[in-house]
Chains A and B, each alone.
Chain A
Amino acid sequence: MSAHQTVNIVMIEDDEGHARLIEKNIRRAGVNNAIRHFLEGTAALKYLFDAPDGPARNGPALVLLDLNLPDMSGIDILQKMKAPDSPLRRTPVVVLTTTDDKVEIERCYDLGANVYITKPVNYETFAQAIRQLGLFLSVIQVPDPEAD
């Protein structure tokens, strides 16, 4: 995943337990990249677009996005990231959420989500899915953010 520059994983997930389980299972898949975790959308947006060490200013990143956030919908974040003039429009976004509503899934892909994964409720499948995601993350190529 990291050829010349480390790819940061930004995880936006309001459930700490989920976040911990996701992180654990990604690590179990052998992914060692830094993971930044945000519990709510505002802080995550601020980091994504404005932080000096954030993806917009500094190096490639990959976003794991939950749609059910306390302060906003993950869709809003997705929309801002995939806007035509956004520096993060090429940054891969993996939507990882409990919703398996068909309309919601379509909407996310329409907005430019790269992957949509429904969190399985059964833990075994959940763990397996996250591990597979980890394997996937370890092989995909991530573009650099748009130079300002």
Chain B
Amino acid sequence: MQNSQRRANRAIFLAVAAGFLMLGVAAVAVVWAYQRSQDYGQLVSHTIEVEAAVADLNRLNERIEAARRGFLLEDDPRFLETFEKTAAQIPVQIERISELTSDNPDQVARLSRFRTLTDRYLGLLRESVADKQAGGTGVKAQSLLDEEDITVVQQLRDLSDEMSIAERRLLIAREAAEHRSVYVSTIVAGVAGCLFVLVAVGTIWATRRTLRALTTTGIQLQGLNEDLESAVAERTAELQRANAEIQRFAYIVSHDLRSPLVNVMGFTAELDAAIKPLGELIDRVEEAAPDLVEEETKFAVREDLPEAIGFIRTSTEKMDRLINAILRLSREGRRVLALEAVDMNALAVSVVDSLQHRIDELGVTVETEPVPTVVTDRLAVEQIVSNLVENALKYLKPDRPGRITIRGRKTGGRVIVEIEDNGRGIDPKDHERIFDLFRRSGAQDQPGEGIGLAHVRALAYRLGGTISCESSLDQGATFSLSLPMALAPQQGAQT
């Protein structure tokens, strides 16, 4: 699904890129063709210009010939005037043609021949005019038609025709090339245009399809999102239900366990009370008739019974304490948390103050470093800190002066409260176990039921926090309480 989608996306991208490329090619082709046709127009007008110039030159040649002939026939100075004017114009016209055809070596060669011929022609004509002015006929040959200048003029005419034809031929060749290139570029533009249209249509189709798919995906995603939300809500409700169930279970169990315990203790007390008259009876009988009392009976009444009752009593008392602990834990779970901004520094000081008597007694140094403020349940945090400090006091190492440090820091959205001591430490294998109910670690030389840390952990969880321990034997211990900086109200709701 994902792969094919990626492939389709790549195809669409390539198609769009190709479309733009086609558009570019078509544009270049069109511009090129346009420029070509413009070039062609220029060439045509150039050729026409050259032809016109050549024709003009021919006309001037004709005119000068006519002026000379007129002068030879009739000695009128106006002919001479025309002759001179035209003779002055001819080199100018030749110069113009030379400028126009400077890019064509053939034409340049022709023109230079033309120039030489013209010079000669003009020379011949001048000679003839000068001869006439001097009083001659102005004609060296038999007839005017046999004069040398006639052949020169013929040559000039041929040359100018040649030049025109060359120019025409050039034009035709250029025209053909021009047409070909315009034709090619038109085809290129046409093909590119067609491809562009195809790609455009394809791209529009693909884009529409993708958009439709995107809309569908969006709707699906929204649906999934809603599902997820309801799933989370459901799961949360389930967890809350399960938690409530456990709390209720703990409460009922501890309650129902207490009932038989009252009987055990009650009837033990009755037994205890019964020992007294029984002991007195034994005493009296022993006094009155020592034979009647066997050693065994005396021992049973004076030793065995009190001992048994003592054990029953201490055991039931212990059981009572354990049940009370469970009850307290379950009650703690049912208590509604009251969230407030708790000044942890003041809290630490108050905890230390409440334990000041024992701190002085044991000669312990307690340091409190700044702890960030936390929005949470004051009572619960106080119980946690108090419990941890009490533990630190309880498990000091007797051969070195005790030192306890309370400090705190912020990391991310959480506040870490650390309670460090230099006491006897905890074996790393027990780091998890110590948080279990009724479990303890190390030498059992201190009173306690293994409830404190279990309680601490339950409270920490309740506050959305965690508690961990870092320690090794004889190296002191550091307990780290990680709490959310601000407990969300629904987390603190009664579960």
Asked if B411 lies at the interface with its beta carbon under 8 angstroms from chain A, I say no
Chain B residues near A68 (CB, 8 Å)? 255-256, 259
> In the complex, what's the smallest C-beta–C-beta distance from B317 to chain A, in angstroms?
8
Asked if A17 lies at the interface with its beta carbon under 8 angstroms from chain B, I say yes
Is A18 in contact with B263, judged by CB distance below 8 angstroms? yes
Asked if A69 lies at the interface with its beta carbon under 8 angstroms from chain B, I say no
Is B267 in contact with A17, judged by CB distance below 8 angstroms? yes
Interface string of B370-390 (1 = CB under 8 A from A): 000000000000000000000
Chain B residues near A121 (CB, 8 Å)? 258, 261-262, 265, 320, 323-324
Is B266 in contact with A126, judged by CB distance below 8 angstroms? yes
Chain A residues near B255 (CB, 8 Å)? 68, 98-99
Chain B residues near A99 (CB, 8 Å)? 255
Asked if A21 lies at the interface with its beta carbon under 8 angstroms from chain B, I say yes
Is A122 in contact with B265, judged by CB distance below 8 angstroms? yes
Asked if A124 lies at the interface with its beta carbon under 8 angstroms from chain B, I say yes
Number of interface residues of A (CB under 8 A): 15
Interface string of B268-284 (1 = CB under 8 A from A): 11100000000000000
Q: How far, in angstroms, from A15 to B260 measured CA to CA in the complex?
A: 8
Q: How far, in angstroms, from A98 to B254 measured CA to CA in the complex?
A: 10
Within 8 A of B (CB), among A79-119: 98-99, 119
Is B266 in contact with A127, judged by CB distance below 8 angstroms? yes
Q: How far, in angstroms, from A24 to B256 measured CA to CA in the complex?
A: 22
Chain B residues near A127 (CB, 8 Å)? 266, 269
Chain A residues near B268 (CB, 8 Å)? 123
> In the complex, what's the smallest C-beta–C-beta distance from A35 to chain B, in angstroms?
17
Chain A residues near B259 (CB, 8 Å)? 15, 18, 68, 98, 119
Which A residue sits closest to B272, measured CB to CB?
A123
Which A residue sits closest to B324, measured CB to CB?
A121
Within 8 A of A (CB), among B26-59: none
Q: How far, in angstroms, from A136 to B125 measured CA to CA in the complex?
A: 171
Within 8 A of B (CB), among A1-41: 15, 17-18, 21, 24
Q: How far, in angstroms, from A1 to B263 measured CA to CA in the complex?
A: 28
Is A17 in contact with B260, judged by CB distance below 8 angstroms? yes
> In the complex, what's the smallest C-beta–C-beta distance from A20 to chain B, in angstroms?
8
Within 8 A of A (CB), among B234-266: 255-256, 258-263, 265-266
Which B residue sits closest to A119, measured CB to CB?
B262
What are 17 A-B residue pairs whose CB atoms fall within 8 Å in the complex? A15-B260, A17-B262, A17-B266, A18-B262, A18-B263, A21-B262, A21-B266, A21-B270, A68-B255, A68-B256, A98-B255, A98-B259, A99-B255, A121-B265, A121-B323, A123-B265, A126-B262
Q: A21-B270, A123-B265 are in contact. List 7 more A-B contacts (CB 8 A).
A: A17-B262, A68-B255, A99-B255, A119-B262, A123-B268, A126-B262, A126-B266
Residues of A within 8 A of B (CB): 15, 17-18, 21, 24, 68, 98-99, 119, 121-124, 126-127
| Complex A-B, nearest 7 residue pairs according to Cβ-Cβ distance, in ascending order | A17-B263, A123-B265, A21-B266, A123-B266, A121-B258, A123-B269, A98-B255
